[in-house]
């Protein structure tokens, strides 16, 4: 497998090398033996078109990885960002780094410079760095963020992977059904046209559909295009997407899984901020933007209770932001004074619960989907051939 590694060395500066290796770890070790500091490792995407490789949003994780590597190699903060800017091929990303450099050269701290560009750097990211600046441990704060983001991305990839196969089944089943209804059934309708009165009811309905398609193909095509355009337009409307999300949260099984995912993200973010030295009250003010609307009101209520003197565990329990196990873990964290570590453990617990649910979903949903598609396609075929079966029976 071929890997593309973004590396740094004192003699060559920042550069890009290609390494053949069995895995990412082996590729990084090979580069390190050659004297490089590895900043980023990706599988070389040579088969993808250029427009697919381009990132529209600021690559915050990659930026953090590269900055962490350069700081670890001994460069100053300004030198590290200058190096990243010089080698960055994207003009949009270079402009973000240029603005960041300008602020640093004018004497602003890193967190203050990042805070002026909220489109690229979220509040909780800035807050974690601001707390670390007081102890001079920016590299460690970046390392915590990288670990946090990798865990979040890992869970997202598991969810996407679990949905890929059912989605493919649904697409293939839909295409096969459309082919039968739009091409095969009209052909059969011409064969049975002379004896339509003697056909079974289901076959007659199917053949009527086939005759309609044969005589009005343009009408059907325009109707399909209109339906497709209307669907795309609907999904482009924020209000419609919000309504779908609200319905998903109201669905018993799915809503509970979505809640678990959101709680995992909440506790992991709070853990990262607390580890970086951010006070709990300030950390709670930074996380609402990461949550779904359904959890923002309970979180606001919990924050109010905490500021009135209620314990974190009790406030979270009364507003529905914990489970029974998470509540007990929070109480242990309060007694021991290790809230940051305990919140990380709660997030890990929720992640493991999500992994089990994904495994169960995959084992149950995929065979059910295959069975439904098989019944649908098989039913259409049987209905088409029922008159032939009747004819064969009469001949006997």
pLDDT band at 14 (very low <50, low <70, confident <90, very high): low
The predicted pLDDT at position 331 comes to: 92
Q: Are strands 2-9 and 37-43 parallel, antiparallel or unpaired?
A: antiparallel
Output the pLDDT for position 22.
61
Reference 210, options 349, 199, 330, 227; nearest CA is: 199
pTM of the model: 0.63
Q: How far is CA 156 from the centre of its chain?
A: 4
The answer on pLDDT for 207 being more than 80 is no
Q: Are residues 32 and 160 in the same domain?
A: no
pLDDT at residue number 345: 92
What percent of the chain has pLDDT above 70?
Answer: 87
Interacting residues of 162 by C-beta distance below 8 A, sequence separation 6+: 358, 361, 362
Q: Residue 147: which of 269, 22, 8 has the closest Cα?
A: 269
Rounded to whole angstroms, the Cα distance separating 234 from 248 reads 17
Residues 175 and 322 grouped into a single domain: yes
Q: With beta carbons less than 8 A apart as the criterion, state whether 275 and 135 touch.
A: no
HEC per residue, 8-21: EECCCEEEEEEEEC
CA triplet 89, 92, 93: central angle to 5 degrees? 65
- Which of helix, strand or coil describes residue 88? coil
The pLDDT value given to residue 259: 87
Confidence band of 82 (pLDDT split at 50, 70, 90):
confident
Do 44 and 156 sit in the same domain of this protein? no
126-164: pLDDT as tens digits = 877 877 776 667 888 888 888 888 887 887 887 788 778
Mean pLDDT of 186-208: 70
pLDDT of residue 315: 92
Q: Are residues 287 and 156 in the same domain?
A: yes
* 196 and 330 co-located in one domain: yes
Q: Domain with 239 in it: what CATH number?
A: 1.20.81.30
Other Cβ atoms within 10 Å of 59 Cβ, number: 16
157 and 50, same structural domain?
Answer: no
In a domain, 112, yes or no: no
> Is residue 8 included in any domain, yes or no?
yes
- Rounded to the nearest integer, the mean pLDDT of the chain is 80
Whether 21 is in a domain gets the answer yes
Residue 194 belongs to a domain? yes
Return the CATH number at 43. 3.10.20
Residue 38 lies inside a defined structural domain of this protein: yes
User: What is the per-residue pLDDT across 26-81, written as a single tens digit (0 to 9) for each?
Assistant: 777 788 877 777 767 766 544 444 434 444 578 888 888 888 888 888 888 888 88
Residue 281 clears pLDDT 80, i.e. is over it: yes
Sign of CA dihedral 334, 337, 338, 339: positive
Return the higher-pLDDT residue of 22 and 239: 239
Instruction: Look at residue 103 and tell me if it is in a domain.
Output: no
Query: Does residue 219 share a domain with residue 356?
Result: yes
Structural domain total, the chain: 2
**More confident site: 176 or 384:** 176
**Domain span at residue 248?**
152-396
Same-domain pairing of 43 and 170: no
Q: Is there a domain that residue 233 lies in?
A: yes
Residues 186 and 328 grouped into a single domain: yes
Residues 17 and 162 in one domain: no
Q: In residues, how long is the chain?
A: 396
Is residue 126 in a domain?
no
30 plus 163 within the same structural domain: no
- pLDDT digit string, tens, across residues 289-317: 778 777 888 888 999 999 888 999 999 99
């Amino acid at each position: 497998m071929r890997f593309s590694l973004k590396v740094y060395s004192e003699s060559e500066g920042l550069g890009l090398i290609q390494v053949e290796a069995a895995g990412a770890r082996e590729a990084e070790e090979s580069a390190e033996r050659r004297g490089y500091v590895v900043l980023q490792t990706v599988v070389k995407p040579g088969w993808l078109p250029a427009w697919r490789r381009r990132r529209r949003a600021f690559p915050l994780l990659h930026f953090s990885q590269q900055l962490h590597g350069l700081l670890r190699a001994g460069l100053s903060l300004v030198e590290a960002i200058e190096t990243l800017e010089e080698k960055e091929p994207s003009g949009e990303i270079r402009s973000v780094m240029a603005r960041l450099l300008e602020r640093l050269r004018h004497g602003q701290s890193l967190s203050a410079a990042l805070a002026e560009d909220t489109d690229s750097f979220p509040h909780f990211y800035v807050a974690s760095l601001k707390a670390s600046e007081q102890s001079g441990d920016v590299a460690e704060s970046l390392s915590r963020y990288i670990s946090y983001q990798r865990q979040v991305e890992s869970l997202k990839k598991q969810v996407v992977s679990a949905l890929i196969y059912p989605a493919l089944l649904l697409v293939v089943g839909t295409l096969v059904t459309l082919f039968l209804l739009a091409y095969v059934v009209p052909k059969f309708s011409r064969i049975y046209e002379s004896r339509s009165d003697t056909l079974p009811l289901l076959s007659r309905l199917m053949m009527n559909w086939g005759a309609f398609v044969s005589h009005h193909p343009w009408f059907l095509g325009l109707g399909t295009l209109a339906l497709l355009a209307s669907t795309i337009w609907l999904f482009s409307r924020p209000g419609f997407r919000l309504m779908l999300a609200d319905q998903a949260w109201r669905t018993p099984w799915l809503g509970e899984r979505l809640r678990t995912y959101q709680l995992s993200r909440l506790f992991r973010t709070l853990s990262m901020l607390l580890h970086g030295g951010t006070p709990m009250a300030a950390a709670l003010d930074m996380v609402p933007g990461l949550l779904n609307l359904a959890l923002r009101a309970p979180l606001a209520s919990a924050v109010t209770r905490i500021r009135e003197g209620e314990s974190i565990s009790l406030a979270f329990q009364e507003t529905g932001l914990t489970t029974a196990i998470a509540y007990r873990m929070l109480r242990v964290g309060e007694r021991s004074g290790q809230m940051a570590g305990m919140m990380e453990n709660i997030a890990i617990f929720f992640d493991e619960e999500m992994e089990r649910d994904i495994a169960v979903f995959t084992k149950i949903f995929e065979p059910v989907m295959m069975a439904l598609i098989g019944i649908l396609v098989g039913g259409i075929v049987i209905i088409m051939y029922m008159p032939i079966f009747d004819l064969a029976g009469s001949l006997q």
